């Protein structure tokens, strides 16, 4: 089965940068998903609805939700089954737990997420 592990979160001051990483299991399932599927970063604060903030196709085409456009950049390295989210000019409202998954998401793939806290 596909297993995803997010990392790179932490405490960041407003305006600062942070880079999140997502590693997929290096078995046939993870390698296949990272080769042919759209991938994305989601965020979900406790009690809030899950939101897709960035997505990337196997060909590198990207899409962002309006609140992170021009600040976040999603990228992928299929050979390493890795997907990244470079976050710049972070704002307090970006504070939440971030998850990676395919797009659309598969409920069996959710990892533990990585928490980003933006505070002075």
**Beta pairing, strands 114-118 & 10-12:** parallel
31-69 residue pLDDT tens:
998 889 999 999 988 788 999 999 999 999 999 999 999
Number of CB atoms found within 10 A of residue 42's CB: 20
Q: Provide the 3-class DSSP secondary structure of residue 71.
A: coil
Which among 67, 68, 86, 87 has a CA at the least distance from the CA of 76?
86
The confidence band for 77, taking pLDDT boundaries of 50, 70 and 90, is very high
* Cα gap 90→46, rounded to integer Å: 19
pLDDT at 22: 97
pLDDT at 78: 86
User: Is residue 113 predicted with pLDDT exceeding 90?
Assistant: yes
Contact by Cβ (8 Å): 37, 58: yes
pLDDT at 48: 87
Burial class of residue 74 in the structure, from the number of CB atoms within 10 Å of its CB (0-12 exposed, 13-18 middle, 19+ buried): buried
13-29 residue pLDDT tens:
999 999 999 999 989 98
């Amino acid at each position: 089965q596909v297993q995803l592990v997010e990392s790179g979160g932490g405490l960041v001051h407003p305006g600062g940068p942070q880079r999140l990483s997502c590693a997929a299991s290096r078995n046939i399932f993870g390698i296949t998903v990272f080769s042919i599927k759209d991938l994305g970063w989601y965020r979900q604060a406790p009690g809030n609805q899950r939101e897709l903030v960035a997505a990337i196709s196997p060909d590198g085409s990207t899409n962002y939700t309006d609140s992170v456009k021009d600040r976040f950049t999603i990228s992928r390295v299929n050979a390493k089954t890795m997907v990244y989210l470079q976050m710049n000019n972070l704002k307090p409202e970006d504070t939440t737990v971030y998850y990676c998954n395919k797009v659309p998401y598969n409920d069996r793939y959710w990892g533990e997420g990585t928490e980003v806290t933006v505070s002075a």
